[in-house]
Amino acid sequence: MNNEQQLSHLDRRGEAHMVDVGDKQVTQRVAVARSKIRMASQTLIALEASELKKGDALATARIAAIQAAKKTSDLIPLCHPLPITKVSVDLQVDHDLPGIITHVTCKVLGQTGIEMEALTAASVAALTIYDMAKSLDRGMVIEEVVLLEKMGGKSGEWRHDDHS
């Protein structure tokens, strides 16, 4: 493996280490991630009407996603703790899926990217919805946790080919 192909979290001996970002320029960084949770139509109707025994799943999932973004460095080894400036969570009811599509946007003014925070938040939003609705539908499927775009830093902008 040459230097261009070397993974940043592995040293020359192939051992894991936390990347030193101290010399990187502080820039505005943004990441957008999406998750989907597919469920039975009846479950979606109950969720949308806030008729779940555990309460309002969408409001709870929104809070859980924000908390997850803030705790990402506690969950993902070698991930830097970041002074997040913004987390926005958009939960869309999709009757064609049927299910919930979550879009999370995370922002930071920092020296390293915020992709992991956005992905973690999108994942935890879907997991929270599953937890809140599992008494009605244990067959729900969490799928397509994906980074849609990132902006800022040395590598600039990146966009997933299937960004919709």
Active site residues: 131
Cis peptide leading into residue 98 (ω within 30°): yes
Which residue, among 110, 111, 122, has the nearest Cα to 147 in the 3D structure?
122
Q: Sheet of 99-110: strands edge to edge?
A: 84-94, 99-110, 27-38, 141-151, 158-159
Which residue, among 15, 16, 30, 11, has the nearest Cα to 78 in the 3D structure?
16
Distance CA 65, CA 121 (A): 4
Other C-beta atoms lying within 10 Å of the C-beta of residue 101: 19
